[in-house]
A and B are shown apart, each in its own frame.
Chain A
Amino acid sequence: MKRSRKPAAVLPALLLTTALAGCAGGGGTGSNGTLTVFAAASLKSSFTEIAERFEAENPGITVTFSFAGSADLATQLSQGAPADVFASADAGTMAKVQEAGLVHGEPRDFATNTLAITVPPGNPAGIRSFADLGRPGTRLVACAPQVPCGAAAARVADSTGTVLSPVSEENSVTDVLGKVISGEADAGLVYVTDVRSAGTRVEGIPFPEASAAVNPYPAAVLAGSRNEAAAGRFLDLLAGPEGQEVLAADGFGPGPV
Protein backbone atom coordinates (compact mmCIF):
# COMPACT_ATOMS: atom_id res chain seq x y z
CA MET A 1 0.00 0.00 0.00
CA LYS A 2 2.65 2.49 1.03
CA ARG A 3 4.80 1.76 -1.96
CA SER A 4 2.05 2.14 -4.48
CA ARG A 5 1.26 5.57 -3.14
CA LYS A 6 4.55 7.14 -4.08
CA PRO A 7 4.40 6.97 -7.88
CA ALA A 8 0.88 8.29 -7.73
CA ALA A 9 2.05 11.41 -5.96
CA VAL A 10 5.17 11.81 -8.07
CA LEU A 11 3.33 11.56 -11.37
CA PRO A 12 1.45 14.86 -11.20
CA ALA A 13 4.50 16.68 -9.92
CA LEU A 14 6.43 15.28 -12.85
CA LEU A 15 3.73 16.33 -15.27
CA LEU A 16 3.67 19.80 -13.79
CA THR A 17 7.40 20.30 -14.06
CA THR A 18 7.60 18.99 -17.62
CA ALA A 19 4.69 21.17 -18.63
CA LEU A 20 6.24 24.26 -17.06
CA ALA A 21 9.66 23.46 -18.47
CA GLY A 22 8.06 23.27 -21.89
CA CYS A 23 6.67 26.75 -21.49
CA ALA A 24 9.92 28.28 -20.27
CA GLY A 25 11.79 27.79 -23.54
CA GLY A 26 10.81 31.09 -25.22
CA GLY A 27 13.38 33.86 -25.23
CA GLY A 28 16.82 32.64 -24.38
CA THR A 29 19.42 35.37 -24.27
CA GLY A 30 21.99 35.22 -26.94
CA SER A 31 25.48 34.10 -26.18
CA ASN A 32 25.26 32.23 -29.43
CA GLY A 33 24.70 35.20 -31.67
CA THR A 34 21.16 36.15 -30.69
CA LEU A 35 20.16 39.63 -29.55
CA THR A 36 16.85 39.81 -27.72
CA VAL A 37 15.17 43.22 -27.81
CA PHE A 38 12.16 44.15 -25.66
CA ALA A 39 10.57 47.16 -27.34
CA ALA A 40 7.44 49.30 -27.01
CA ALA A 41 4.73 48.30 -29.46
CA SER A 42 4.90 51.64 -31.29
CA LEU A 43 8.45 50.81 -32.36
CA LYS A 44 7.55 47.63 -34.19
CA SER A 45 7.79 48.88 -37.75
CA SER A 46 10.95 50.96 -37.27
CA PHE A 47 12.79 48.38 -35.21
CA THR A 48 12.05 45.58 -37.62
CA GLU A 49 13.68 47.54 -40.38
CA ILE A 50 16.60 48.65 -38.23
CA ALA A 51 17.20 45.06 -37.16
CA GLU A 52 17.63 44.02 -40.78
CA ARG A 53 20.39 46.56 -41.20
CA PHE A 54 21.94 45.50 -37.90
CA GLU A 55 22.03 41.88 -38.95
CA ALA A 56 23.58 42.88 -42.26
CA GLU A 57 26.29 44.84 -40.48
CA ASN A 58 26.83 42.18 -37.82
CA PRO A 59 26.93 38.82 -39.54
CA GLY A 60 26.19 35.90 -37.22
CA ILE A 61 23.89 37.83 -34.93
CA THR A 62 20.16 37.35 -35.10
CA VAL A 63 17.82 39.91 -33.56
CA THR A 64 14.65 38.64 -31.90
CA PHE A 65 11.92 41.00 -30.66
CA SER A 66 9.24 41.09 -28.06
CA PHE A 67 6.88 43.99 -28.80
CA ALA A 68 4.32 44.95 -26.13
CA GLY A 69 3.20 47.82 -23.95
CA SER A 70 6.15 49.33 -22.10
CA ALA A 71 4.62 48.63 -18.69
CA ASP A 72 4.01 44.97 -19.59
CA LEU A 73 7.58 44.57 -20.78
CA ALA A 74 8.87 46.16 -17.57
CA THR A 75 6.82 43.71 -15.52
CA GLN A 76 8.21 40.80 -17.52
CA LEU A 77 11.77 42.06 -17.06
CA SER A 78 11.30 42.43 -13.31
CA GLN A 79 9.99 38.83 -13.25
CA GLY A 80 13.29 37.71 -14.79
CA ALA A 81 12.59 37.60 -18.51
CA PRO A 82 15.94 37.34 -20.30
CA ALA A 83 16.69 40.17 -22.75
CA ASP A 84 19.59 42.27 -23.97
CA VAL A 85 17.96 45.58 -24.87
CA PHE A 86 14.93 47.40 -23.52
CA ALA A 87 13.41 50.26 -25.52
CA SER A 88 10.62 52.04 -23.67
CA ALA A 89 7.98 54.47 -24.91
CA ASP A 90 8.32 56.62 -21.81
CA ALA A 91 10.93 57.68 -19.31
CA GLY A 92 8.93 56.68 -16.23
CA THR A 93 8.86 53.01 -17.15
CA MET A 94 12.57 53.04 -17.93
CA ALA A 95 13.21 54.68 -14.56
CA LYS A 96 11.38 51.84 -12.80
CA VAL A 97 13.45 49.24 -14.61
CA GLN A 98 16.59 51.17 -13.75
CA GLU A 99 15.60 51.41 -10.08
CA ALA A 100 15.16 47.67 -10.04
CA GLY A 101 18.83 47.39 -11.01
CA LEU A 102 18.10 45.76 -14.31
CA VAL A 103 19.88 48.33 -16.49
CA HIS A 104 23.54 48.20 -17.44
CA GLY A 105 24.98 51.70 -17.76
CA GLU A 106 22.75 54.67 -18.54
CA PRO A 107 19.65 54.69 -20.75
CA ARG A 108 19.90 56.80 -23.91
CA ASP A 109 17.02 58.71 -25.48
CA PHE A 110 17.02 57.75 -29.14
CA ALA A 111 13.74 59.26 -30.37
CA THR A 112 10.82 61.45 -29.39
CA ASN A 113 7.14 61.24 -30.10
CA THR A 114 4.57 64.00 -29.97
CA LEU A 115 0.79 63.92 -29.75
CA ALA A 116 -1.47 64.42 -32.72
CA ILE A 117 -5.20 64.68 -33.08
CA THR A 118 -6.70 61.85 -35.05
CA VAL A 119 -10.14 61.95 -36.62
CA PRO A 120 -12.18 59.55 -38.74
CA PRO A 121 -11.72 59.97 -42.51
CA GLY A 122 -13.52 63.11 -43.67
CA ASN A 123 -13.36 64.62 -40.18
CA PRO A 124 -17.16 64.58 -39.66
CA ALA A 125 -17.02 66.69 -36.49
CA GLY A 126 -14.90 69.37 -38.18
CA ILE A 127 -12.04 69.37 -35.69
CA ARG A 128 -9.38 71.98 -36.61
CA SER A 129 -7.40 72.66 -33.47
CA PHE A 130 -6.57 71.39 -30.01
CA ALA A 131 -9.07 73.88 -28.57
CA ASP A 132 -11.82 72.23 -30.63
CA LEU A 133 -11.36 69.08 -28.56
CA GLY A 134 -12.74 70.91 -25.54
CA ARG A 135 -15.91 71.94 -27.39
CA PRO A 136 -19.04 70.62 -25.72
CA GLY A 137 -20.52 67.71 -27.61
CA THR A 138 -17.22 66.60 -29.09
CA ARG A 139 -16.74 62.92 -28.49
CA LEU A 140 -13.08 62.79 -27.60
CA VAL A 141 -11.34 59.54 -26.74
CA ALA A 142 -7.98 59.78 -25.01
CA CYS A 143 -5.65 57.58 -23.05
CA ALA A 144 -6.14 57.29 -19.32
CA PRO A 145 -3.79 59.56 -17.30
CA GLN A 146 -2.18 56.42 -15.86
CA VAL A 147 -0.62 55.51 -19.22
CA PRO A 148 2.04 57.65 -20.98
CA CYS A 149 -0.11 58.91 -23.87
CA GLY A 150 -2.76 60.00 -21.36
CA ALA A 151 -0.20 61.72 -19.18
CA ALA A 152 1.07 63.61 -22.21
CA ALA A 153 -2.45 64.68 -23.16
CA ALA A 154 -3.00 65.97 -19.63
CA ARG A 155 0.23 67.95 -19.76
CA VAL A 156 -0.79 69.60 -23.04
CA ALA A 157 -4.24 70.39 -21.68
CA ASP A 158 -2.72 71.94 -18.55
CA SER A 159 -0.27 74.06 -20.50
CA THR A 160 -2.99 75.44 -22.77
CA GLY A 161 -5.67 75.75 -20.13
CA THR A 162 -8.04 73.61 -22.20
CA VAL A 163 -10.47 71.46 -20.25
CA LEU A 164 -10.81 68.07 -21.90
CA SER A 165 -13.66 65.77 -20.98
CA PRO A 166 -13.15 62.56 -22.93
CA VAL A 167 -16.05 60.14 -23.27
CA SER A 168 -13.58 57.34 -22.69
CA GLU A 169 -10.10 57.04 -21.24
CA GLU A 170 -8.50 54.03 -22.83
CA ASN A 171 -5.61 51.88 -21.71
CA SER A 172 -3.63 52.14 -24.92
CA VAL A 173 -3.32 54.11 -28.13
CA THR A 174 -4.55 51.01 -29.97
CA ASP A 175 -7.86 51.23 -28.13
CA VAL A 176 -8.10 54.97 -28.89
CA LEU A 177 -7.40 54.38 -32.57
CA GLY A 178 -9.99 51.58 -32.64
CA LYS A 179 -12.70 53.95 -31.46
CA VAL A 180 -11.73 56.58 -34.04
CA ILE A 181 -11.46 54.09 -36.91
CA SER A 182 -14.92 52.68 -36.11
CA GLY A 183 -16.30 56.23 -36.15
CA GLU A 184 -17.61 56.03 -32.59
CA ALA A 185 -15.36 58.89 -31.53
CA ASP A 186 -15.17 62.32 -33.19
CA ALA A 187 -11.52 62.62 -32.29
CA GLY A 188 -8.73 60.88 -30.48
CA LEU A 189 -5.43 61.91 -28.98
CA VAL A 190 -2.58 59.61 -29.97
CA TYR A 191 1.03 59.91 -31.11
CA VAL A 192 2.07 61.12 -34.53
CA THR A 193 3.57 57.68 -35.20
CA ASP A 194 0.26 55.99 -34.44
CA VAL A 195 -1.53 58.18 -36.96
CA ARG A 196 1.17 57.32 -39.48
CA SER A 197 0.85 53.57 -38.93
CA ALA A 198 -2.96 53.66 -39.11
CA GLY A 199 -2.62 54.75 -42.76
CA THR A 200 -5.76 55.89 -44.52
CA ARG A 201 -8.15 54.59 -41.87
CA VAL A 202 -7.80 57.88 -39.94
CA GLU A 203 -6.70 61.44 -40.60
CA GLY A 204 -4.06 63.17 -38.50
CA ILE A 205 -4.08 66.81 -37.40
CA PRO A 206 -0.77 68.04 -35.97
CA PHE A 207 -1.09 70.86 -33.46
CA PRO A 208 1.58 73.23 -32.11
CA GLU A 209 0.52 72.84 -28.46
CA ALA A 210 1.84 69.27 -28.62
CA SER A 211 5.34 70.59 -28.06
CA ALA A 212 4.44 71.01 -24.40
CA ALA A 213 4.65 67.25 -24.02
CA VAL A 214 7.42 65.80 -26.11
CA ASN A 215 7.79 62.21 -25.16
CA PRO A 216 11.34 60.81 -25.21
CA TYR A 217 12.00 57.15 -25.99
CA PRO A 218 14.86 55.78 -23.91
CA ALA A 219 16.73 52.56 -24.63
CA ALA A 220 19.21 50.72 -22.47
CA VAL A 221 21.43 47.68 -22.37
CA LEU A 222 20.14 45.33 -19.73
CA ALA A 223 22.17 44.07 -16.80
CA GLY A 224 21.32 40.48 -17.59
CA SER A 225 22.65 40.69 -21.15
CA ARG A 226 25.22 38.10 -22.19
CA ASN A 227 25.96 40.04 -25.35
CA GLU A 228 26.66 43.55 -24.10
CA ALA A 229 28.88 44.48 -26.99
CA ALA A 230 26.25 43.67 -29.60
CA ALA A 231 23.57 45.37 -27.46
CA GLY A 232 25.71 48.50 -27.34
CA ARG A 233 26.16 48.42 -31.11
CA PHE A 234 22.40 48.14 -31.53
CA LEU A 235 21.91 51.29 -29.42
CA ASP A 236 24.56 53.06 -31.47
CA LEU A 237 22.75 52.16 -34.65
CA LEU A 238 19.50 53.58 -33.22
CA ALA A 239 21.09 56.90 -32.38
CA GLY A 240 23.16 57.05 -35.58
CA PRO A 241 22.04 58.55 -38.88
CA GLU A 242 20.76 55.24 -40.28
CA GLY A 243 18.51 54.54 -37.31
CA GLN A 244 17.32 58.13 -37.10
CA GLU A 245 16.40 58.06 -40.78
CA VAL A 246 14.21 54.99 -40.33
CA LEU A 247 12.59 56.40 -37.18
CA ALA A 248 11.93 59.76 -38.82
CA ALA A 249 10.22 58.00 -41.71
CA ASP A 250 7.76 56.54 -39.22
CA GLY A 251 7.09 59.95 -37.66
CA PHE A 252 9.44 59.92 -34.69
CA GLY A 253 11.26 63.07 -33.78
CA PRO A 254 15.04 63.09 -33.28
CA GLY A 255 16.36 61.92 -29.95
CA PRO A 256 18.05 64.69 -27.98
CA VAL A 257 21.45 63.12 -28.49
Chain B
Amino acid sequence: MTGGHAGRQAYTGVPRWLYALAVLAALVVVLPLAAMVARVNWANFIPLVTSGPALAALGLSLRTAAASTALCIVLGVPLAVVLARGRFPLLGLLRAMVLLPLVLPPVVGGIALLYTFGRQGLLGGAIEVLGLQIAFSTTAVVLAQTFVALPFLVVSLEGALRTGGQRYEAVAATLGASPGTVFRRVTLPLVLPGLASGAVLSFARSLGEFGATLTFAGSLQGVTRTLPLEIYLQRETDPDAAVALSLVLVAVAIAVVALAYRRPGGKVRNQQASGERPTTAATPGGALT
Protein backbone atom coordinates (compact mmCIF):
# COMPACT_ATOMS: atom_id res chain seq x y z
CA MET B 1 0.00 0.00 0.00
CA THR B 2 2.49 2.56 1.17
CA GLY B 3 5.37 1.50 -1.03
CA GLY B 4 7.70 -1.32 -1.96
CA HIS B 5 9.59 -1.75 1.28
CA ALA B 6 6.62 -1.81 3.61
CA GLY B 7 6.65 -5.62 3.90
CA ARG B 8 7.97 -6.32 7.41
CA GLN B 9 7.95 -2.83 8.85
CA ALA B 10 6.04 -2.11 12.00
CA TYR B 11 3.19 0.37 11.80
CA THR B 12 4.45 3.93 12.29
CA GLY B 13 1.34 6.04 11.84
CA VAL B 14 2.99 8.99 10.09
CA PRO B 15 0.55 10.70 7.69
CA ARG B 16 1.83 11.21 4.18
CA TRP B 17 1.51 15.00 4.18
CA LEU B 18 3.83 15.10 7.19
CA TYR B 19 6.56 13.61 5.01
CA ALA B 20 6.02 16.38 2.49
CA LEU B 21 6.44 19.06 5.14
CA ALA B 22 9.43 17.22 6.59
CA VAL B 23 11.06 17.26 3.18
CA LEU B 24 10.37 20.99 3.01
CA ALA B 25 11.97 21.47 6.42
CA ALA B 26 15.03 19.49 5.36
CA LEU B 27 15.25 21.61 2.23
CA VAL B 28 15.29 24.80 4.28
CA VAL B 29 18.51 23.56 5.85
CA VAL B 30 20.09 21.60 3.04
CA LEU B 31 19.28 23.79 0.04
CA PRO B 32 21.34 26.84 1.11
CA LEU B 33 24.28 24.60 1.93
CA ALA B 34 23.97 22.90 -1.42
CA ALA B 35 23.75 26.28 -3.13
CA MET B 36 26.95 27.30 -1.41
CA VAL B 37 28.70 24.10 -2.43
CA ALA B 38 27.60 24.78 -5.99
CA ARG B 39 29.45 28.09 -5.90
CA VAL B 40 32.76 26.58 -4.75
CA ASN B 41 35.58 27.43 -7.12
CA TRP B 42 37.01 23.90 -7.22
CA ALA B 43 39.90 24.80 -9.49
CA ASN B 44 41.31 27.10 -6.81
CA PHE B 45 39.87 25.31 -3.82
CA ILE B 46 43.11 23.86 -2.48
CA PRO B 47 45.15 27.09 -2.82
CA LEU B 48 42.27 29.06 -1.27
CA VAL B 49 41.95 26.91 1.84
CA THR B 50 45.70 26.45 2.27
CA SER B 51 46.65 30.12 2.04
CA GLY B 52 48.57 31.54 4.99
CA PRO B 53 45.66 33.46 6.53
CA ALA B 54 43.27 30.53 5.99
CA LEU B 55 45.55 28.02 7.70
CA ALA B 56 46.25 30.48 10.51
CA ALA B 57 42.52 30.95 11.03
CA LEU B 58 41.76 27.22 10.93
CA GLY B 59 44.60 26.44 13.31
CA LEU B 60 43.50 29.18 15.69
CA SER B 61 39.90 27.99 15.52
CA LEU B 62 40.84 24.40 16.35
CA ARG B 63 43.17 25.45 19.17
CA THR B 64 40.74 27.88 20.79
CA ALA B 65 37.76 25.53 20.39
CA ALA B 66 39.77 22.75 22.04
CA ALA B 67 40.77 25.08 24.88
CA SER B 68 37.24 26.35 25.44
CA THR B 69 35.88 22.80 25.35
CA ALA B 70 38.37 21.85 28.05
CA LEU B 71 37.30 24.90 30.04
CA CYS B 72 33.64 23.96 29.52
CA ILE B 73 34.33 20.47 30.91
CA VAL B 74 36.26 21.73 33.92
CA LEU B 75 33.62 24.33 34.79
CA GLY B 76 30.53 22.69 33.31
CA VAL B 77 30.71 19.30 35.01
CA PRO B 78 30.52 20.71 38.55
CA LEU B 79 27.79 23.11 37.48
CA ALA B 80 25.72 20.37 35.86
CA VAL B 81 26.09 18.14 38.93
CA VAL B 82 24.99 20.96 41.22
CA LEU B 83 22.03 21.77 38.97
CA ALA B 84 20.97 18.14 38.71
CA ARG B 85 21.58 17.06 42.31
CA GLY B 86 21.66 20.19 44.39
CA ARG B 87 18.74 21.35 46.45
CA PHE B 88 18.82 25.01 47.40
CA PRO B 89 16.71 28.10 46.85
CA LEU B 90 17.07 29.94 43.56
CA LEU B 91 18.29 26.78 41.83
CA GLY B 92 15.74 27.38 39.08
CA LEU B 93 16.95 30.93 38.65
CA LEU B 94 20.56 29.75 38.44
CA ARG B 95 19.62 27.22 35.76
CA ALA B 96 17.79 29.88 33.74
CA MET B 97 20.76 32.24 33.97
CA VAL B 98 23.21 29.57 32.87
CA LEU B 99 21.08 28.76 29.83
CA LEU B 100 20.79 32.42 28.79
CA PRO B 101 23.69 32.34 26.30
CA LEU B 102 21.67 29.80 24.30
CA VAL B 103 19.09 32.44 23.43
CA LEU B 104 21.16 35.63 23.64
CA PRO B 105 22.54 37.10 20.42
CA PRO B 106 26.29 36.43 20.60
CA VAL B 107 27.05 40.12 20.15
CA VAL B 108 25.25 40.74 23.45
CA GLY B 109 27.54 38.14 25.00
CA GLY B 110 30.49 40.01 23.54
CA ILE B 111 29.34 43.30 25.05
CA ALA B 112 28.75 41.63 28.42
CA LEU B 113 32.23 40.08 28.33
CA LEU B 114 33.70 43.44 27.41
CA TYR B 115 32.16 45.04 30.46
CA THR B 116 33.48 42.18 32.61
CA PHE B 117 37.00 41.54 31.39
CA GLY B 118 37.65 44.71 29.39
CA ARG B 119 39.99 47.48 30.53
CA GLN B 120 37.11 49.50 31.95
CA GLY B 121 35.21 46.35 32.93
CA LEU B 122 34.19 44.90 36.24
CA LEU B 123 37.33 42.76 36.61
CA GLY B 124 39.44 44.83 34.22
CA GLY B 125 41.31 46.66 36.96
CA ALA B 126 42.16 43.48 38.84
CA ILE B 127 43.30 41.79 35.65
CA GLU B 128 45.49 44.74 34.70
CA VAL B 129 47.08 44.66 38.15
CA LEU B 130 47.99 41.02 37.56
CA GLY B 131 49.78 42.15 34.43
CA LEU B 132 47.38 40.31 32.18
CA GLN B 133 45.66 41.66 29.16
CA ILE B 134 42.59 39.84 27.97
CA ALA B 135 41.11 42.11 25.31
CA PHE B 136 42.57 41.51 21.84
CA SER B 137 44.24 38.28 23.01
CA THR B 138 43.62 34.63 22.23
CA THR B 139 42.42 34.30 25.83
CA ALA B 140 39.54 36.60 24.92
CA VAL B 141 38.59 34.29 22.07
CA VAL B 142 38.56 31.30 24.43
CA LEU B 143 36.47 33.22 26.97
CA ALA B 144 33.96 34.27 24.31
CA GLN B 145 33.68 30.71 23.06
CA THR B 146 33.33 29.31 26.57
CA PHE B 147 30.58 31.82 27.30
CA VAL B 148 28.45 30.66 24.38
CA ALA B 149 29.36 26.95 24.53
CA LEU B 150 29.06 26.24 28.25
CA PRO B 151 25.25 25.86 28.23
CA PHE B 152 25.50 23.10 25.63
CA LEU B 153 27.68 21.02 27.90
CA VAL B 154 25.64 21.78 31.00
CA VAL B 155 22.29 20.99 29.38
CA SER B 156 23.53 17.78 27.84
CA LEU B 157 25.19 16.59 31.04
CA GLU B 158 22.39 17.63 33.35
CA GLY B 159 19.98 15.64 31.20
CA ALA B 160 22.20 12.57 31.51
CA LEU B 161 22.50 13.06 35.25
CA ARG B 162 18.75 13.34 35.65
CA THR B 163 17.77 10.29 33.65
CA GLY B 164 19.74 7.92 35.79
CA GLY B 165 22.35 7.41 38.37
CA GLN B 166 20.87 8.68 41.58
CA ARG B 167 19.94 5.20 42.82
CA TYR B 168 23.37 3.90 41.89
CA GLU B 169 24.90 6.73 43.86
CA ALA B 170 22.78 5.87 46.91
CA VAL B 171 23.84 2.22 46.71
CA ALA B 172 27.47 3.24 46.34
CA ALA B 173 27.20 5.40 49.46
CA THR B 174 25.72 2.57 51.53
CA LEU B 175 28.65 0.42 50.39
CA GLY B 176 30.96 2.88 52.09
CA ALA B 177 31.98 5.15 49.23
CA SER B 178 32.58 8.79 50.14
CA PRO B 179 30.90 11.46 48.00
CA GLY B 180 34.20 11.98 46.17
CA THR B 181 34.53 8.29 45.40
CA VAL B 182 30.89 8.08 44.32
CA PHE B 183 31.43 10.98 41.94
CA ARG B 184 34.63 9.55 40.50
CA ARG B 185 33.74 5.88 40.29
CA VAL B 186 29.96 5.93 39.75
CA THR B 187 28.51 9.27 38.68
CA LEU B 188 31.12 10.21 36.09
CA PRO B 189 31.35 6.82 34.36
CA LEU B 190 27.55 6.62 34.18
CA VAL B 191 27.19 10.00 32.48
CA LEU B 192 30.26 9.63 30.28
CA PRO B 193 28.19 9.33 27.06
CA GLY B 194 26.27 12.48 27.99
CA LEU B 195 29.50 14.26 28.85
CA ALA B 196 31.06 13.21 25.57
CA SER B 197 28.19 14.44 23.44
CA GLY B 198 28.03 17.64 25.49
CA ALA B 199 31.74 18.22 24.92
CA VAL B 200 31.38 17.61 21.19
CA LEU B 201 28.49 20.07 20.98
CA SER B 202 30.49 22.64 22.95
CA PHE B 203 33.39 22.18 20.57
CA ALA B 204 31.10 22.67 17.58
CA ARG B 205 29.55 25.77 19.11
CA SER B 206 33.01 27.18 19.91
CA LEU B 207 34.13 26.55 16.36
CA GLY B 208 31.19 28.50 14.99
CA GLU B 209 31.38 31.37 17.49
CA PHE B 210 31.52 34.72 15.72
CA GLY B 211 29.60 37.61 17.23
CA ALA B 212 31.00 37.56 20.76
CA THR B 213 34.54 37.10 19.44
CA LEU B 214 34.22 40.00 17.01
CA THR B 215 32.84 42.28 19.70
CA PHE B 216 35.08 41.24 22.56
CA ALA B 217 38.31 39.88 21.12
CA GLY B 218 38.82 41.79 17.91
CA SER B 219 40.24 40.34 14.73
CA LEU B 220 43.93 39.81 14.08
CA GLN B 221 45.47 37.05 12.03
CA GLY B 222 46.91 34.25 14.15
CA VAL B 223 45.78 35.85 17.42
CA THR B 224 42.05 36.43 17.39
CA ARG B 225 40.89 35.93 13.82
CA THR B 226 39.20 32.55 13.90
CA LEU B 227 37.83 30.84 10.83
CA PRO B 228 34.37 32.49 10.97
CA LEU B 229 36.00 35.93 11.27
CA GLU B 230 38.32 35.12 8.40
CA ILE B 231 35.34 34.11 6.29
CA TYR B 232 33.58 37.36 7.18
CA LEU B 233 36.64 39.37 6.19
CA GLN B 234 37.36 37.45 2.98
CA ARG B 235 33.79 38.07 1.90
CA GLU B 236 34.70 41.75 1.47
CA THR B 237 37.25 41.14 -1.22
CA ASP B 238 37.41 37.49 -2.22
CA PRO B 239 34.04 35.70 -2.22
CA ASP B 240 35.65 32.56 -3.62
CA ALA B 241 37.91 32.29 -0.59
CA ALA B 242 34.95 32.94 1.71
CA VAL B 243 32.94 30.15 0.09
CA ALA B 244 35.86 27.72 0.17
CA LEU B 245 36.51 28.41 3.86
CA SER B 246 32.81 28.13 4.62
CA LEU B 247 32.85 24.68 3.10
CA VAL B 248 35.77 23.71 5.34
CA LEU B 249 33.81 24.90 8.36
CA VAL B 250 30.71 23.00 7.24
CA ALA B 251 32.79 19.85 6.80
CA VAL B 252 34.27 20.17 10.28
CA ALA B 253 30.82 20.83 11.73
CA ILE B 254 29.33 17.79 10.00
CA ALA B 255 32.14 15.61 11.31
CA VAL B 256 31.62 16.92 14.84
CA VAL B 257 27.84 16.53 14.82
CA ALA B 258 28.10 13.04 13.35
CA LEU B 259 30.46 12.16 16.19
CA ALA B 260 27.99 13.42 18.79
CA TYR B 261 24.96 11.60 17.39
CA ARG B 262 26.69 8.44 16.31
CA ARG B 263 24.49 6.23 18.47
CA PRO B 264 20.98 7.13 19.45
CA GLY B 265 20.25 6.09 23.03
CA GLY B 266 22.76 5.50 25.76
CA LYS B 267 24.59 2.34 26.52
CA VAL B 268 23.92 2.81 30.20
CA ARG B 269 20.18 2.72 29.81
CA ASN B 270 20.30 -0.62 28.01
CA GLN B 271 22.37 -2.17 30.72
CA GLN B 272 20.10 -0.84 33.39
CA ALA B 273 17.07 -2.28 31.68
CA SER B 274 18.55 -5.73 31.34
CA GLY B 275 19.60 -5.60 34.96
CA GLU B 276 16.04 -5.06 36.00
CA ARG B 277 14.44 -7.51 33.68
CA PRO B 278 16.04 -10.88 32.99
CA THR B 279 16.00 -11.57 29.28
CA THR B 280 15.94 -15.29 29.82
CA ALA B 281 14.75 -17.34 32.72
CA ALA B 282 17.83 -17.92 34.79
CA THR B 283 18.66 -21.50 35.54
CA PRO B 284 20.81 -22.07 38.61
CA GLY B 285 24.35 -21.27 37.65
CA GLY B 286 23.31 -21.37 34.03
CA ALA B 287 24.89 -19.24 31.39
CA LEU B 288 23.06 -16.71 29.37
CA THR B 289 22.90 -17.15 25.65
Contacts and interface: CB of A to CB of B under 8 A. Distances in A.
Interface in B135-159: 135-136
* Interface size range of chain B in the complex: 20 to 34
B219 A171 contact: yes
Contact of A171 (B1, B16, B20, B233): B233
B114 A8 contact: no
Contacts of A175: 214, 219
Contact of A8 (B20, B135, B233): B20
A169 interface: yes
A183 to B, nearest CB: 4
Interface in B224-266: 224-225, 232-239
B219 A168 contact: yes
Contact of A146 (B16, B217, B218, B237): B237
A169 B233 CA distance: 10
B217 to A, nearest CB: 8
A167 interface: yes
Interface in B85-121: 114, 118-120
Interface stretch (A9-17, A21-29, A198-206, A237-245): A9-17
A184 B220 contact: no
B17 interface: yes
Secondary structure call for the A interface = mixed
Interface residues on A, range: 20 to 34
B118 to A, nearest CB: 5
A9 B214 CA distance: 43
A178 B23 CA distance: 43
A179 B120 contact: no
Contact of B119 (A8, A75, A184): A184
B136 A168 contact: yes
Interface in B1-48: 1, 16-17, 19-21, 23-24, 27
B48 to A, nearest CB: 14
A178 B215 contact: yes
A170 interface: yes
B135 A184 contact: yes
A206 B114 CA distance: 28
Contacts of B219: 144, 168-171, 175
Contacts of A182: 114, 118, 120
A5 interface: yes
A168 B218 contact: yes
Contact of B220 (A1, A11, A146, A168): A168
Counting from the closest, the 10 A-B pairs by CB-CB distance are: A168-B218, A167-B136, A12-B24, A146-B237, A183-B120, A184-B135, A8-B20, A8-B17, A71-B236, A146-B236
Given A167-B136, A184-B119, 19 more contacts: A8-B17, A9-B20, A12-B23, A71-B235, A141-B136, A141-B218, A146-B233, A146-B234, A167-B218, A168-B218, A168-B220, A171-B214, A171-B233, A171-B236, A175-B214, A179-B218, A182-B114, A183-B120, A184-B136
Interface of A: 1, 4-5, 8-9, 11-12, 15-16, 69, 71, 75, 139, 141, 144, 146-147, 166-171, 175, 178-179, 182-184
24 contacts: A4-B16, A8-B16, A8-B17, A8-B19, A8-B20, A9-B20, A11-B21, A12-B20, A12-B23, A12-B24, A69-B236, A146-B234, A146-B238, A167-B135, A167-B220, A168-B218, A168-B219, A168-B224, A169-B225, A182-B118, A183-B118, A183-B120, A184-B114, A184-B120
